[in-house]
Each structure stands twice: as structure tokens, then as C-alpha cells.
């Protein structure tokens, strides 16, 4: 199948997709090289096909997504690649999509920022059977991450709903607590709320991308620069990549993230859980993205009695544990950790309503958070 990779209304390149093996087997005409996805690049003067294949596959729902197999059965499709093509690879986090030269479509008619979409795929991802033949054109077909999630439209706004994982289903509550902590520390972040659906907590956050912007993951930013030299740390290498691209203020924004992750004991800040935002029309960088996806924190899957807040806690992405990673922060003066005192009432307001909080768990978590705060102060 012949496709044109599009960036909003800009044709980027033509490619041939072999649907039997689900691979881009040929890159044909390059129309606009500067719009090639960040991190794909050229090798010996030609577009790096392997990198483009990886980028293409990264747009499918990951195989690790909770409940994926059941969802595919409910939707009666055999693979996530089918879903990717059904929605023209459009999403709500960036502006890439694919057009068929044999039957071309217009971006303004199909993008999910301006056009409504069905919730059938999102519902199926949450285990709900569609009524009748499901509509498969959805931004959920390209959303990343392992937790159950779906996009909805509420009062004209695009909202991402996200579930948690057993046994405590704590991730949605953690997102809200992390928002509260960052708010108190004046750290730019995505604001999360949560509600209960069938007694399960589900977080909600607004799309921080609109038709003019797009999120580029740190992972893709890493691939824009030359191979890292042995004596340069991954942290400095990433900062250098940001600097060469022209992403301003990256060090201070990353320090905000490292401080937050230390406090909340986040164990999963991988390179797709942060990134930068750019203008999708002019390609100018706006800056590091507001902090999102803080759910895998606060000992979300650990027994209360095994929580050891003062010990080494595994971290990502720059060092293996938070005690080491926090040393990357050069300047703590601008953080007012006193603003985190007297957090008890709001903490309990977040954690108490969930039926998955065993007796005493919220108290242990609050105590642990206070120890993390004390360690930083
Ligand atoms: N508010 C938002 N606006 C735009 N895009 C978003 C927003 N929140 C998340 N995304 C995009 O959706 C992806 C998946 O979301 P998120 O990271 O929150 O899910 P997750 O299942 O918790 O991920 P993980 O597997 O890392 O735990 C993100 O990597 C990002 O690309
Ligand atoms: Mg994530």
C-alpha cells in the first residue's frame, strides 16, 4: 500500500507499506525533509528506513497495554496495526498522519482536535462491548503506555482518562497528589483530577497539545544527536541534544522533574514519559513539556509494610536510583519545600475515598512522603 506521510497539511514523504509483514519496505519521494519525524533522520543521505519503521510501530497501541487482547476481540480486529491504519495514524499528541494518494483526505476534515470521534475503541480498551458494529476511527488507536486509557470530548475539550493497576489502583490518585505537590512547588505540570467509574479510580487530564503544537518524546530527541561519547553522561547528552535543537531552559525544567520524581518516588520516568513541545507549523521549539504521567510512584504496587522511604529507590532515566539521580540537580535554592508542609488534609482527601486503600495504607504513604520531603529539605 502506498502512503504519504503527512504533517498537518504538509506532505513529508511517500512510502510503501507491506501489509503482510507490517513494514515500511520502501521510501519513495521525500517532499519536505524538515518535517520528517524528530529522531528519524538520514543515513548516508537517505531517510533512515529502520528508524522510520520504529517510529511507525511506536504509533500502535503497545503490546503491553493492559486488556489489549480482550479489546481487539471486542472490536473484531486482528492487530493494533489495523487500528493504526483505520485512524490514518492520527492522534492527539502530535500532528502526523498518513494519506493515501489513491484516495486523498484533507487534514481539517479528519484531525481529532477539530473533529469528533467515537468512543468505541476507548470503551473496548476498558472492557466494554460496543453496541453494534464498532467505529474504529479513534485517537485511542495511537495512544501509548501500558495502562488502560481513552480519550473523550468534554465541553469541547479533549480529555485523557486513565485507569490504574491492581492491587491498589493507586496510579490515578498518585497523579492527583503529584499535581498537588507540583502546584505547591510552582512546577509546571499537567493537572490531573480523578473520579470513580464502577468503583475504580480513573484519572483525567486535559490534552496539553492543540492544533498548533505537538509533543516530541525525549526518546526521539535523544536520537537527533550523534552517538554519545563515553565520558558524557546520558543526562548531559540529553541536555546537549536539547541545546542543539534550541529547546530553551531544559536544565531547569529537568531539575523540576528530578525533584518531583524524588519526592514522589517515581520508578518509571522512562524516555517516553517526558519530552518537549514544538510548534507543528513553524517547527520552533516551545520548551520542555509540562510534567505528565507521575502515576507509577508512591509505592503504588508495594505492601505498606515493605515501604522504606529513606532507602534507595529505583529511578529512571538518568541513574538507577533516586539518591544518585537527585545529585544531578545543581540548584535547590529555588524550590520552596516549606510549601509542602501541612499537606495532610489534602492528602487524605485524595486517598481516603478509594476502596482499594487498605487500612493504614494512606497513613503510611503520607508518612513516607514526609520523609522524602525531609530528605530534600
Ligand atoms: N495530557 C496529555 N496531552 C497530550 N498527550 C498526552 C497527555 N497525557 C499523555 N499523553 C500522551 O499519551 C502517552 C501515554 O500516556 P501516559 O504516559 O500518561 O500513559 P501510561 O500508560 O501511564 O504510560 P506508561 O506506560 O509510561 O506508564 C504519553 O506518553 C504521551 O505521549
Ligand atoms: Mg507513560
> Where are the chain's structural domains?
213-376
Place 171 in a pLDDT band, splitting at 50, 70 and 90.
Answer: very high
Ligand 1 atom closest to Cα of 208? 3
Nearest residue (by CA) to ligand 1, atom 7, is 207
Question: Distance of CA 322 to CAs 16, 170, 175, 375, Å?
Answer: 45, 21, 19, 11
Rounded Cα–Cα distance for residues 90 and 93 (Å):
9
> Angle 1-97-244 (CA atoms, 0-180°, nearest 5)?
120
The mean pLDDT value of the chain amounts to 96
Q: Which residues contact 194 (CB under 8 A, 6 or more apart)?
A: 172, 173, 175, 176, 201, 202, 203, 204, 350
Q: Give the pLDDT mean for 242-260.
A: 98
Three-state DSSP state, 174: helix
Q: Residue 86: exposed, middle, or buried by beta-carbon count in 10 A (0-12, 13-18, 19+)?
A: middle
Ligand 1 pocket test target in 93, 96, 191 with most atoms within 8 Å of CB: 93
* Residue 227, pLDDT score: 79
Rounded Cα–Cα distance for residues 103 and 188 (Å):
42
274 Cα–ligand 1 center, Å: 9
275 Cα–ligand 2 center, Å: 11
Check: pTM over 0.85? Answer yes or no. yes
Place 180 in a pLDDT band, splitting at 50, 70 and 90.
Answer: very high
* Residue 13, pLDDT score: 98
Q: Which ligand is nearest to the CA of 163?
A: 1
Q: Give the pLDDT mean for 289-299.
A: 98
* Residue 135, pLDDT score: 97
Go through 324-363 and write b for each residue having 16 or more CB atoms within 10 A of its CB, e for each that does not.
ebbebbeeeeebeeeebeebeeebeebbeebebbeeebbe
Query: How many other C-beta atoms are found inside a 10 Å radius of the C-beta of residue 206?
Result: 14
Ligand 1 pocket test target in 213, 274, 292 with most atoms within 8 Å of CB: 292
- Would you say residue 43 has pLDDT above 90? no
The proportion of the chain whose per-residue pLDDT surpasses 90, expressed as a percent, equals 95
Q: Give the pLDDT mean for 184-195.
A: 98
* Residue 226, pLDDT score: 78
Summarised one tens digit per residue, pLDDT across range 26-35 is 999 999 999 9
Q: Which ligand is nearest to the CA of 300?
A: 1
Nearest residue (by CA) to ligand 1, atom 28, is 144
How many whole angstroms from its chain centre is CA 229? 28
Rounded Cα–Cα distance for residues 36 and 51 (Å):
11
The proportion of the chain whose per-residue pLDDT surpasses 70, expressed as a percent, equals 100
Ligand 1 atom closest to Cα of 217? 31
143 Cα–ligand 2 center, Å: 10
Kindly list the strands in the beta sheet with 96-99, ordered across the sheet, starting from the edge strand earlier in the chain: 23-30, 10-18, 2-7, 96-99
Rounded Cα–Cα distance for residues 154 and 209 (Å):
15
Ligand 1 atom closest to Cα of 64? 25
Protein residues near ligand 2, an ion, with CB under 5 A: 145, 273, 293
Q: Which residues line ligand 1 (CB under 6 A)?
A: 92-93, 143-147, 149, 160, 162, 190, 205, 207-209, 215, 268, 272-273, 292-293, 295-296
| Strand residues in the chain grouped as ranges (E) | 2-7, 10-18, 23-30, 42-43, 46-47, 96-99, 149-154, 157-162, 192-197, 200-206, 213-217, 275-279, 285-288
44 Cα–ligand 1 center, Å: 34
Place 20 in a pLDDT band, splitting at 50, 70 and 90.
Answer: confident
DSSP single-letter state for residue 134: P
Q: Give the pLDDT mean for 194-206.
A: 97
162 Cα–ligand 1 center, Å: 9
- Would you say residue 328 has pLDDT above 90? yes
Place 339 in a pLDDT band, splitting at 50, 70 and 90.
Answer: very high
Q: Which residues contact 350 (CB under 8 A, 6 or more apart)?
A: 173, 176, 177, 180, 194
Place 8 in a pLDDT band, splitting at 50, 70 and 90.
Answer: very high
How many whole angstroms from its chain centre is CA 51? 20
Given CA atoms 70, 71, 76, 81 in this order, what sign does their dihedral have? negative
- Would you say residue 130 has pLDDT above 90? yes
The residue among 229 and 171 whose pLDDT is bigger is 171
CATH number of 213-376: 1.10.1070.20
Nearest residue (by CA) to ligand 1, atom 25, is 145
Amino acid at each position: 500500500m502506498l502512503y504519504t506521510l503527512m504533517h498537518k497539511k504538509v506532505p513529508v514523504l511517500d512510502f510503501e507499506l507491506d501489509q503482510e509483514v507490517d513494514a515500511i519496505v520502501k521510501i519513495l519521494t521525500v517532499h519536505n525533509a524538515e518535517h520528517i519525524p524528530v529522531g528519524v533522520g538520514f543515513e548516508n543521505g537517505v531517510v533512515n528506513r529502520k528508524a522510520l519503521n520504529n517510529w511507525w510501530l511506536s504509533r500502535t497501541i503497545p503490546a503491553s497495554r493492559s486488556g489489549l487482547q480482550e479489546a481487539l476481540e471486542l472490536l473484531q480486529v486482528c492487530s493494533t496495526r489495523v487500528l493504526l491504519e483505520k485512524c490514518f495514524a492520527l492522534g492527539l499528541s502530535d500532528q502526523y498522519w498518513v494519506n493515501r494518494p489513491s484516495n486523498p483526505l484533507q487534514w481539517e476534515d479528519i484531525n481529532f482536535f477539530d473533529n469528533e470521534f467515537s468512543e468505541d475503541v476507548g470503551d473496548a480498551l476498558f472492557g466494554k462491548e460496543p453496541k453494534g458494529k464498532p467505529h474504529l476511527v479513534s485517537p485511542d488507536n495511537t495512544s501509548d503506555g501500558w495502562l488502560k486509557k481513552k480519550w473523550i470530548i468534554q465541553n469541547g475539550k479533549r480529555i485523557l482518562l486513565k485507569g490504574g493497576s491492581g492491587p491498589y489502583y493507586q496510579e490515578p490518585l498518585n497523579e492527583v497528589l503529584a499535581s498537588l505537590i507540583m502546584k505547591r512547588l510552582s512546577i509546571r505540570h499537567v493537572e490531573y483530577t480523578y473520579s470513580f467509574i464502577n468503583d475504580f479510580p480513573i484519572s483525567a487530564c486535559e490534552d496539553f497539545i492543540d492544533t498548533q503544537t505537538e509533543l516530541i518524546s525525549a526518546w526521539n530527541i535523544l536520537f537527533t544527536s550523534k552517538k554519545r561519547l563515553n565520558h558524557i553522561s546520558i543526562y548531559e547528552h540529553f541536555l546537549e541534544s536539547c541545546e542543539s535543537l534550541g529547546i530553551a531552559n531544559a536544565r531547569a525544567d529537568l531539575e523540576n522533574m528530578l525533584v518531583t520524581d524524588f519526592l514522589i518516588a517515581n520508578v518509571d520516568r522512562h524516555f517516553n514519559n517526558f519530552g518537549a513541545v514544538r510548534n507543528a507549523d513553524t517547527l520552533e521549539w516551545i520548551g520542555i513539556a509540562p510534567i505528565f504521567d507521575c502515576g507509577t510512584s508512591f509505592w503504588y504496587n508495594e505492601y505498606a509494610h515493605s515501604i522504606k522511604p529513606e532507602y534507595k529507590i529505583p529511578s529512571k532515566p538518568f541513574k538507577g536510583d533516586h539518591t544518585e539521580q537527585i545529585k544531578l540537580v545543581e540548584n535547590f535554592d529555588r524550590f520552596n519545600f516549606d510549601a509542602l508542609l501541612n499537606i495532610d488534609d489534602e492528602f487524605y482527601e485524595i486517598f481516603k475515598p478509594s476502596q482499594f486503600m487498605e487500612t493504614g495504607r494512606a497513613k503510611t504513604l503520607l508518612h513516607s512522603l514526609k520523609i522524602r520531603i525531609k530528605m530534600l529539605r
